[in-house]
């Protein structure tokens, strides 16, 4: 039974997440999804999951970052659609195409420069005030992270789809 009409990147997303075709909008996931529960524009009838399954491409690629990957939808879905998996693929696509929130790109740049998602200089200032030893950059980890980023195409603005 095919009941869902996807508006964005039908082939690409469906190829990886065939199961979402059988979502029949039962709203079971919406009772547990924190985004549907706490973000005003969603409700039981228009849940985060079903809305994103049907959203236009740019809207889906923007809003998908609200998903915190808690997997409550995966556990509760009677159709085994695995929305978390579909949304992980959408996040990857969103990142590649420049739709991710600015903070995501900044954290990635920080990670590739210092090997941590926090600023070591500021952290060390706080540690010094607390009487703790300073931490150092892990150059080997930074080198490996940059190799991985190169190999996976994890660079802003350079799509690898």
Q: Which residues contact ligand SF4 by CB under 6 A?
A: 23-29, 32-35, 48-50, 67-73, 77, 79, 81, 83-84, 87
Q: Are 22 and 79 in contact (CB under 8 A)?
A: yes
Question: What are the CA-CA distances from residue 13 to residues 2, 22, 43, 48 (Å)?
Answer: 15, 14, 25, 17
Nearer to ligand SF4, 23 or 111 (CB): 23
Chain-centroid distance of CA 142 in Å reads 23
Nearer to ligand SF4, 75 or 125 (CB): 75
CB of 17 to ligand SF4, least distance (A): 11
Q: Are 54 and 45 in contact (CB under 8 A)?
A: no
Nearer to ligand SF4, 51 or 96 (CB): 51
Angstrom distance (rounded) from CA 46 to CA 59: 15
CB of 97 to ligand SF4, least distance (A): 20
Nearer to ligand SF4, 70 or 141 (CB): 70
Angstrom distance (rounded) from CA 23 to CA 30: 12
CB of 156 to ligand SF4, least distance (A): 24
């Amino acid at each position: 039974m095919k009941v869902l009409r996807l508006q964005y990147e039908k082939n690409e997303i469906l190829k990886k997440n065939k199961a979402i075709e059988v979502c029949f909008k039962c709203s079971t996931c919406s009772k547990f999804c924190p985004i549907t529960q706490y973000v005003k524009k969603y409700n039981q009838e228009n849940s985060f999951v079903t809305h994103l399954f049907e959203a236009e491409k740019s809207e889906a690629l923007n809003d998908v970052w609200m998903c915190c990957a808690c997997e409550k939808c995966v556990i509760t879905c009677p159709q085994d659609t695995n929305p978390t998996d579909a949304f992980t693929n959408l996040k990857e696509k969103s990142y590649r195409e420049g739709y991710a929130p600015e903070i995501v790109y900044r954290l990635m740049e920080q990670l590739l420069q210092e090997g941590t998602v926090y600023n070591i200089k500021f952290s060390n200032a706080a540690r010094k005030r607390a009487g703790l030893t300073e931490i150092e950059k892990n150059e080997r980890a930074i080198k490996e992270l940059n190799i991985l980023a190169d190999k996976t195409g994890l660079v802003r603005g350079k799509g690898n789809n």
